[in-house]
């Protein structure tokens, strides 16, 4: 882990959410308190049984911190390329 790049100390917060979707690869969770939604790979979840819609999950987290003003052009290029490909597929489906 590269914690030297972070300027603020960890402020670990306990969060909870409710499983709203489970597919072959991922689990989707609505955060309690209207704080949003996230989807993560199944391998990131610790489960004793197969996860099901409606189950509650809990975890510790901190706040994401911006590491600097620089933009990673490689990621921007990949995002734009993916958007163009999706738009192209959308147009093909419409025709």
pLDDT category at 2 given cuts 50, 70, 90 is low
Task: Tell whether the model's pLDDT for residue 65 goes beyond 60.
Answer: yes
* Mean pLDDT estimate for the chain: 90
Contact residues for 60 (Cβ-Cβ < 8 A; gap 6+): 12, 13, 14, 15
User: To 10 degrees, the CA torsion angle through 6, 82, 43, 60?
Assistant: 30
Count of helices and strands (H, E) across the chain = 1, 4
The residue with greater pLDDT, 6 or 86, is 86
Average pLDDT of the residues in 32-61: 93
- 8-18: average pLDDT: 86
């Amino acid at each position: 882990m590269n914690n030297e790049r972070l300027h603020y100390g960890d402020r670990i917060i306990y969060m909870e959410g409710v499983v709203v979707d489970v597919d072959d690869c991922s689990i989707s969770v609505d955060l309690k308190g209207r704080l949003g939604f996230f989807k993560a790979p199944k391998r990131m979840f610790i489960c004793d049984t197969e996860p099901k819609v409606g189950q509650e999950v809990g975890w510790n987290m901190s706040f994401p911190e911006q590491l600097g003003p620089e933009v990673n052009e490689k990621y921007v290029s990949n995002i734009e390329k993916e958007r163009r490909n999706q738009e192209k597929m959308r147009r093909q489906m419409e025709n």
